[in-house]
Amino acid sequence: MMQIHEIEAIKSILATPKKITIVPHRNPDGDAMGSTLGLYHILKQLEHDVLVIAPNEFPDFLAWLPESEKVLIFERSFDTCKAILEKSDLIFTLDFNALHRTGDQMENVLKTLTAKSVMIDHHQAPDGYATYTFSDTAYGSTCQMVYDFIHQLGLENLINKTVATCLYTGIVTDSGSFRFPKTTSATHKCVADLIEKGINNSEIHNLLFDNSSYNRLLLLGKALQNLKMLPEYKTTYITLTQDELNEFGHQKGDTEGIVNYGLSIKGIDFTAIFIEHKEEGIIKISFRSQGDFDVNQFARKHFNGGGHINAAGGKSFSSLDETIQQFIAILAEEKK
């Protein structure tokens, strides 16, 4: 929960109409888009001038979210977005806890702002940039935190079907459809309430997960063919080269979730996917674990990343082959 004096301060800011900008992390996922749009639909009902500015494009499988078409893309409309950020009275940063998670360009603008800011986030090791911080790694999603934040502000009457649809999206995506360990009775109570607001939970699930292109399934097939086992480390990993992505007409979001297949093998408790991004000159990596192995620490220490204990990401500036060699060498080292 946010501290009472912080809630009171935020309430008094929101007491009169304000210019408010809400920001998710770069490469926003279901929780980032669901939480920013959920809060957006609350604040709009209070007559604030509200905008969501995402650092870069969001994937197509989220493009049905209510008013996602109004989300501005910083890296596409740099000057407009910079001007809006500079004129904002209040900035919300949702589902991330370090400004570099918005990318170099947007970080440079956010760093210069003097407006008050609110961070709501559930990742490990928050930076201290925000005026008001609601950071709690016990939550499975930022959407569930926004739900509690709305209650703390006494605005729960504003949670309508639209808001509930957005918040449900982040809860279902970040919890792996309610199966990850941070899914609690509080999560299910929250979802029960969202369903009572009239959301069509089954349809949302279909929109999120049963909306793939044919090519996406073929890409998944390719990824599974590339799956490698390292039984001595209870580890699996998947690679996808840029050529393989191109072969299947890769669209943003197509690789989302593929990493999880690596954990579905009996006896495996650590997995990674390495995806080549030729244009950016990086290998983007996702890590997943089951149990105590802390992939947030692993990603931070070895691959310029971070995240949660059982789900984290990072990047490498070496080639794909070199990155895999490094990965295996680190496993051998850590096992000792």
Residues that bind Mn ion (CB under 5 A): 31, 95, 142, 174
Q: How far apart are CA 197 and CA 287, in angstroms?
A: 35
* Cβ–Cβ < 8 Å for 259, 240: no
Does residue 312 belong to the site contacting ligand 5GP (CB under 6 A)?
A: yes
Of 307, 310, 316, 327, the one binding ligand 5GP by CB under 6 A: 307
Token digits of residue 280: 């950016």
Min CB(9)–ligand 5GP separation in Å: 27
Select from 3-11, 222-230, 310-318, 322-330 the region that touches ligand 5GP (CB under 6 A): 310-318
Binding mask 113-142 for ligand 5GP (x = CB under 6 A): ----------x-------------------
Given the DSSP bridges, would you call strands 132-135 and 72-73 parallel, antiparallel or unpaired? unpaired
Select from 12-20, 64-72, 146-154, 302-310 the region that touches ligand 5GP (CB under 6 A): 302-310
Token digits of residue 308: 């949660």
Of 166, 308, 310, 331, the one binding ligand 5GP by CB under 6 A: 308
Min CB(16)–ligand 5GP separation in Å: 34
Q: How many residues bind ligand 5GP (CB under 6 A)?
A: 13
Q: Which of 233, 290, 281, 213 is nearest to 259 (CA)?
A: 290
What DSSP state is assigned to residue 199? -
Q: Considering only residues 12 through 71, tell me which ones interact with ligand 5GP, judged by CB under 6 A.
A: 25
Token digits of residue 233: 């480390």
Residue least distant from ligand 5GP (Cβ): 313
DSSP letters along 257-286, please?
A: TGGGGGG-STT--EEEEEEEETTTTEEEEE
At position 73, the amino acid (one-letter code) is: I
CA distances from 78 to 38, 74, 113, 116 (A): 24, 5, 15, 21
Of 118, 258, 313, 323, the one binding ligand 5GP by CB under 6 A: 313
Q: 170 or 313, CB closer to ligand 5GP?
A: 313
Q: 3 or 318, CB closer to ligand 5GP?
A: 318
* Cβ–Cβ < 8 Å for 277, 242: yes
Of 133, 165, 235, 286, the one binding ligand 5GP by CB under 6 A: 286
- 302's contact among ligand 5GP, Mn ion, none, with CB below 5 to 8 A by partner kind, is none
| Sign for the pseudo-dihedral over CA of 128, 129, 134, 136 | negative
Q: How far apart are CA 50 and CA 81, in angstroms?
A: 13
Of 23, 315, 327, 331, the one binding ligand 5GP by CB under 6 A: 315
Of 99, 311, 324, 331, the one binding ligand 5GP by CB under 6 A: 311
* Cβ–Cβ < 8 Å for 66, 166: yes
